[in-house]
Structure 1
Amino acid sequence: MKCIDTLPEAQRFVAQFKDGSYRQIVALTGAGISTDSGIPDFRSPGGIWSKRQPVQYQDFVADEDSRLEDWDRRFEMMDYFARAEPNAAHQAMTSLAQAGKLHCLITQNVDGLHQRAGFPNDKLVEIHGNSTFATCLSCGVRAELEAQKPIVDAGQSPRCSDCNGLLKAAVISFGQQMPEMELERAAEAAAACDLFLVLGSSLVVHPAAQLPAIAVRGGADLVILNGQETPLDSYASTVIRTPLAQTFARFGE
């Protein structure tokens, strides 16, 4: 395993992703790609979950106070997302996809920054959902978050205008079933790639943490770009420790 911890070397290394021989690249992105955009990490010391514990799905469904707590959290995160802008790492993934090199981007993030960076929806797999809009738990209809704020401010959890079902941010909550179709797409893409990139993921959350191992078993090279060690570093051919936005700052040149 090669470890790169200097920025010039890291920038030279990632340049090969667009110019090299890899034809079927798959990427997995986690919270670390968005921290440079001003979105706080969830799990790190001092992160969001150290201040406000997440609401469990079963509590959301069963309890009005839990629903209101979850909605309050969503509006807080909505403010973070609104202020954030995609950074050079987000833009680099879009560039790779547009060049036909990156065939699938699997993200654990719920901030919508990949979409705002122009990443094509047909190549994006959001395995933890998306927290920038809501859906009805009964009929699946989409609803915008901002429209729900007056209802929450009045002390009520929002309901679907079509069927009166519970509205919830479209993120996958703890205790909620993971989206089977997205997980199948992610696993199939990992098994078929020749290069699997990990950008800003601690690789401790399953089932996403299994995807790099699937890729390696299929014969792919694994490159992990993350500030801290991960449980799968030993599987990687190269580990890069430099900040992601700076690492990809010259990617489009």
Structure 2
Amino acid sequence: MRNIPQALTIAGSDSGGGAGIQADLKTFQMRGVFGTSAITAVTAQNTLGVSGIHLIPTEMITAQLDAVAADFHVSAFKIGMLGDADVIECVAQALQRHTLGRSVLDPVMIAKGGAPLLQQSAVEALKTLLLPLADVVTPNLPEAEALTGIKVSDDKSAQEAASALQACGAKTVVLKGGHLENSQSAVCRDWVFTPEGDFVLESPRIPTRHTHGTGCTFSACIAAELAKGHDVADAVRTAKAFISAAVADALEIGQGHGPTNHWAYYRQTGAI
């Protein structure tokens, strides 16, 4: 039997194809990983925004997770959009029943166009049920503030927010700095806090509106690298390079916040 790395994404479906399950599976494929999925919600959206959200019944989410776990050798998984506390609880229960490898939690709360993707009442459930299970958590700055109450504006506040998330049980925290307010810097800074040590990753700040699905793609790439057996620090570094290339080489699809280019990193490097 061929030793093909396999990963799982637990997330919502994006009918526009730029984020969610669709972005995750594209990323897995471009990193040489076979992707499986459990869909938590179906959204009606495009690059202009979200016009509808339908949460999948928890029994069906459980059935998807049980089916994947029964047949595939998943060595890493990522969690994206969950929607409400009932979905969070059902996913947490399934993860406690199954061994699915290392985990990446992308706390999806708000769509690129501003639509809420996680009910406020579910934030506490996310903190208590899923953060303790996360090998890596990848909030952007608004998400980090929603989870910790700490507004990240510099290295000191980033450390405080990361410490608060690690106190909830997350092992590695990646704070994505793309939303840093009033930034006139030519670089985009991410803070990475691991049990082995902390470091900062920087990339050129690219003036583009085509950033739909960046968070999904970034976290999916980390999960793909973990599925291949890489350590967390290397996985995060590869994901940073992958998403930087995806944003820099814009597809310019759609009339609003267009999707990132999932082919770009491979075309630039030839690496899988």
Q: Which structure ranks higher in relative contact order (CA pairs < 8 Å, sequence separation ≥ 6)?
A: 1
TM-score range, shorter chain: 0.3 to 0.5
Which has more radius of gyration?
Answer: 1
**TM norm structure 2:** 0.31
**TM norm structure 1:** 0.33
